[in-house]
Amino acid sequence: MNTINIAILGCGTVGGGVAQIITEINKELVIRSDAKLTLNKIVELNPTIAAERFHLPMELFCGSGKNLSPQEASAYIEDIIKSNEIDIVVETIGGTSDFVHQLCLDIVASGKHLVTANKALLAERGKDIFDVAEKKGVKIGFEAAVCGAIPIVKTVKENLTGDKILSISGIMNGTSNYILSQMQNENLEFDTALKLAQENGYAEADPSLDINGGDAGHKIILLIKLAYGIDVTMEELSMTGIENISKEDMDFANEIDAKIKLICYAKKMNGDIYATVRPMMVKNSNVLSGVNGATNAVRVNCKYSGKHILVGKGAGSSETAMSIVSDIVFISRYGKQIRNIAEKQERNFADANHFVFPYLITFHTADIPGTTGFITTEIGKQDINIDTVSHNRHSGKKATFSVATMPSTIEKIEKAIDNIKKERPNLLLSETKIMPILY
């Protein structure tokens, strides 16, 4: 039986969870991996705190258990990278800094396998890390980088290789889903729901990446790489956050039998790849509409096997750590037989403005007779068929209503809005909201 020696860089929430699982159920992991899994070294600035929190023996920590300076930690990390005895390095330092980027490059360049939950790094700066890993014949495990405990990476990369993935859609950020669920179910305004998420530990003090779509964007970029074999940058990905969602939007969602969710969506159509991250009106007939709280869910639509739904926790110490340990076992058992990513494809990443969806368009206008007829006529002039028009909400000299379209493109809708502004410059009182309707 082979021995697989493991080093963990960082022993915080995730790294500590990994160390705890490896030590607590080592016998089971050895059977599953068909290898002797040995946790050799942990590099942590404050080992006493980590050892107590995760019930770890002090001898596992570099520096004999004393606190380390950043310089000392870097020296121990360098020793690990140079060592011929370490087979797998788990990176749980996090972030996209030059230091962490170079660290991951050095790990794979040294011929060691890399396991990480660092979605931001892999999505934003991962191309060269994957390229070097490919040249060196080592593996990158990143199951934990996409939706925590949900095994979506292995599902796309391994389990569905006998099929053709047509689309991927999902709720991939628990914080935004918790906020939207509170707004929908408890009739709260956005700011109140965000504060509640922070108080309950679902949102950071700075929640920007969660509410602006950035965190979810990292995850769909990695799934696009796996499913369709193309590299997409954050700059190329069309993203809209949830900051401007209001109780009024929730009311319009109810009118069309839908819930508002921040959805990651990628689809292959006519050889092109379309993708976006944005709030969508998810019809109640779609299982994603019923996924509430901080739960994540991913729906994969395949040509031959149909739809597959994976639901679970997208974050947390033990949940994320479990996925990292799963990668360690998988690499230990199958090694070079694993493919890091899909074979690169020559496919066009298309402009999201040309993405065909039914849309809900919300207008805030001056309360003038004939406004609804005028606006729907302008929409019709762009060859957009209208499904339904909501009741008008009147408030003083203002009116609000929504128009649900049949499948169209944002490009056509925005052209209609531009024409409305030209014809009646003072009619629209705020920016028009455009949300896809997901069936």
Q: Is-contact 91 103, C-beta < 8 A?
A: yes
Reduced to 3 states (helix: H, G, I; strand: E, B; else coil), residue 207 is: coil
Residues near 289 by beta carbon (within 8 Å), at least 6 away in sequence: 258, 259, 261, 282, 283
Catalytic residue of the set 41, 112, 139, 219: 219
Residue 313, number of CB atoms within 10 A of its CB: 18
Enclosing H/E stretch for 398: strand 398-405
CA pair distance 47, 78, nearest whole angstrom = 18
Strand-pair partners of 262: 279
Q: Is-contact 368 389, C-beta < 8 A?
A: no
Q: Is-contact 367 394, C-beta < 8 A?
A: yes
Catalytic annotation present for 219: yes
* Closest of 139, 89, 165 to residue 341, by C-alpha: 139
CA pair distance 56, 19, nearest whole angstrom = 8
Residue 75, number of CB atoms within 10 A of its CB: 15
CA pair distance 435, 437, nearest whole angstrom = 6
Which tokens in the block code for residue 129?
């890390």
Reduced to 3 states (helix: H, G, I; strand: E, B; else coil), residue 242 is: coil
Reduced to 3 states (helix: H, G, I; strand: E, B; else coil), residue 68 is: coil
Q: At what angle do helices 174-186 and 247-255 cross, to 10 degrees?
A: 80
State the number of CA atoms in the 13 A half-sphere of 123 facing the CB.
24
Strand order in the sheet with 88-91: 35-43, 2-9, 88-91, 113-116, 140-141
SS (H, E, C) 346-376: CCCECCHHHCCECEEEEEEEECCCCHHHHHH
The residues annotated with a catalytic role in the active site are 219
